[in-house]
Amino acid sequence: MTLNTIMAVKFPVRILRYKPSGSSNQGIMKNGLIARALRPRCAVIVHPQFTEPEAALRAAGHPVRRVILRPRDGFRLAGAAIPPEADLVVIGNPTNPTSALHPAAGLVAHARPGRVLVIDEAFMDGVPGEPESLAGCAGVPGLLVVRSLTETWGLAGLRIGYVLGPAALLGRLRSAQPLWPVSTPALAAARACSSARAVAEAATLARAAGLGLAANRRTRASDVRRFRRFPS
């Protein structure tokens, strides 16, 4: 079974094109695949978010601008002032560390010709049903979706992840990729984590985590109600 068919199990019918990376999700960003293959004149990172994409772009010598989402808006993307001249935009969905889950339509609204829109979906398989995932979304200009096997499966050491996107863009990434970037053990792990059984297991874990979270929130809310207020 090739990685192509592996990913087709994970994204039945929705997957169009993919490219495995030897260095995991952040390998795609950090070890320079995106930063080296693309030469953005105006890269924008939507913050708060994981710090590595910005670090990777800066290390590759690209100027980076930040768009900061505000807590009082619930870290929502709606209304975010992404500069029109941005030719590379990086957004996490759901976002580490805010856990904001942006609606897919709101993300797609930031795509335009001449811009690469990178959506880091490292944590998406923790969202039951992945309703806001763009992993199978075709026809959005410049859309790259970066996925990870690290978060659900704890495979950080194997350094394997994958990126989904239009063939031309993946070709540009491929040209910046080192030789033999994916090890056989990593491929075997990707295969195991993407089997129908593993996908079902991940979905069960995501649902259980969601229920746990809801229970925790209820507990915290009742704990908070037990506190007495003192004027400061």
Binding residues for ligand PLP, per CB under 6 A? Answer: 24-26, 50, 92, 96, 120, 122, 148, 150, 156, 161
**Angle, nearest 10°, between helix axes 184-193 and 3-10?**
20
Q: How far is the CB of 218 from ligand PLP (least distance, A)?
A: 27
Query: At its nearest, how many Å lie between ligand PLP and the CB of residue 139?
Result: 25
Cβ 155 to ligand PLP, closest distance in Å?
A: 8
Backbone conformation region of residue 74, classed left if phi is above 0, alpha if psi is from -120 to 50, else beta: left
Q: Which helix (H) or strand (E) holds 221?
A: helix 196-226
State the distance between the two ends of the chain, measured CA to CA, in whole angstroms. 65
Q: Which is nearer to ligand PLP, 24 or 177 (CB)?
A: 24
Least distance in Å: CB of 163 to ligand PLP?
A: 11
Indicate the residue among 28 and 37 with the shorter CB distance to ligand PLP.
28
Distance CA 136, CA 231 (A): 53
Task: Give the distance from CA 163 to its chain's centroid.
Answer: 9
Nearer to ligand PLP, 96 or 195 (CB): 96
Task: Convert 118-157 to b/e letters by CB count within 10 Å (16 or more is b).
Answer: bbbbbbbbbbeebebbbbebeebebbbbbbbbbbbbebee
If the CB atoms of residues 124 and 220 are measured against ligand PLP, the closer one turns out to be 124
- Contact partners, residue 211, CB within 8 Å, separation at least 6: none
Q: Tell me whether residue 111 or residue 149 sits nearer to ligand PLP (CB atom).
A: 149
Smallest distance from ligand PLP to CB 161, Å: 4
